[in-house]
Chains A and B, each alone.
Chain A
Amino acid sequence: MAFNYEKYIRPGKLPHIWCPGCGHGIVMKGLIRAIDKCALNKNRTAVISGIGCASRLPGYVDFNTVHTAHGRAAAFATGMKMADPGLTVLCVGGDGDGVAIGGNHFIHACRRNIDITYILMNNHIYGMTGGQFSPCTPTDGFASTTPYGNPDPVFDIAKLAIGAGATFVARTTAYHATQIDKLIIEGIQHKGFSVIEILDCCPTSYGRRNKYRSVVEMMKQHKELAVPVTAAAKMAPEDLAGKIITGVLHKEDKPEYCEQYSRLIEKVQEQAAAKG
Chain B
Amino acid sequence: MGIPKIEINEKYCKGCSICVEFCPTQVLQMNGFVAQVVKPEACIKCMQCELRCPDFAIRVFPE
Contact = CB atoms under 8 A, between A and B. Distances in A.
Please say whether the chains A and B touch (CB closer than 8 A): yes
Interface centre among A19, A25, A175 (most CB of B within 10 A): A25
Contacts of A20: 14-16, 55
A23 B51 CA distance: 11
A3 B18 contact: no
Given A15-B11, A177-B48, A25 B56 contact: yes
B54 A216 contact: no
Interface residues of B, number: 22
A1 interface: yes
Interface residues of A, number: 27
A215 to B, nearest CB: 6
Contact of B51 (A18, A29, A214): A29
B16 to A, nearest CB: 4
Contacts of A22: 54
Contacts, number: 66
Interface in B7-63: 7, 11-12, 14-18, 21-22, 48, 50-56, 59-62
Contact of A216 (B7, B12, B21, B50): B21
A24 B53 CA distance: 10
A44 to B, nearest CB: 25
A22 B18 CA distance: 10
Contacts of A178: 51
A211 interface: no
A5 B56 CA distance: 8
A215 B16 contact: yes
A16 B60 CA distance: 21
A9 interface: yes
A16 B51 contact: no
A172 to B, nearest CB: 13
Contacts of A3: 50, 59
Interface of A: 1-3, 5, 9, 14-16, 18-26, 29, 174-175, 177-178, 203, 214-216, 219
Closest CB pairs A-B (n = 8): A25-B54, A21-B16, A20-B14, A2-B59, A177-B51, A216-B21, A20-B16, A15-B12
